[in-house]
Amino acid sequence: MGKITTIGCLLLLGFLGSAQEIEEGVPWDAGKRLVWADFKGKVPPAAVPAATTASGISYTYSANLMYHEVKLDYEVTAYFYPNESWYKKPLANDTILSHEQLHFDIAELFARKMRNRLDRTSFSDNVKAEVREIYQEILQELQEFQEAYDWETNFSRNVEKQLEWNAKIAKELQAVE
């Protein structure tokens, strides 16, 4: 038994990993909605959009080999990055803020999807590469989803589509809890 514990500890140290350094990110919280004061970044000189939400997914994990199976402990979090997020004060309104909040909510949706993928995956001793691959796939899906959201809502200007997306994401967040 002592030998298995020693091997497990060595593997645990060898498999520690993380996705990215967190730059003062604010973790997603169902009870907290964004307010314009959260957007602390500087508006780029040639910026066309009324606002930009910088959000993303970060993860950490550790893996342990027990009885020829890899056990994964992980944390996946959606973050909002205030210093990279900005808005044009003259254009700021509740509709645009709601649109920006949904970008953050979409990041949380994909954090949940990643958690579900990690839960369903049987990992080999190449766990570091396998987790990284899942993360990269989720990031690609997230980016495509965010782009579709902006395109379909015309960056919040199509109010009917915006309301549809609000309902869609709320429903999906509940389904992937």
Q: pLDDT tens-digit profile of 57-95?
A: 999 999 998 877 899 999 999 999 999 999 999 999 999
pTM of the entire structure? 0.85
Helix (H, G, I), strand (E, B) or coil at 176: coil
CA 111, CA 90: separation in Å to the nearest integer? 33
What's the total number of domains in the chain? 1
Helix (H) or strand (E) holding 27, with range, is: strand 26-27
* DSSP E strand stretches across 42-162: 51-52, 55-66, 69-80, 86-87
Tens-digit pLDDT profile for the chain (177 aa)?
Answer: 222 222 222 222 233 334 444 468 999 999 999 999 999 999 999 999 999 999 999 999 999 988 778 999 999 999 999 999 999 999 999 999 999 999 999 999 999 999 999 999 999 989 999 999 999 999 999 999 999 999 999 999 999 999 999 999 999 999 987
Structure token digits, residue 128: 């570091």
Domain with 136, as residue range(s), is 2-175
Tell me the torsion sign for CA atoms 10, 12, 18, 21.
negative
Helix (H, G, I), strand (E, B) or coil at 132: helix
What is the per-residue pLDDT for 69? 84
Helix (H, G, I), strand (E, B) or coil at 127: helix
Q: Which of 139, 132, 143, 133 is nearest to 18 (CA)?
A: 132
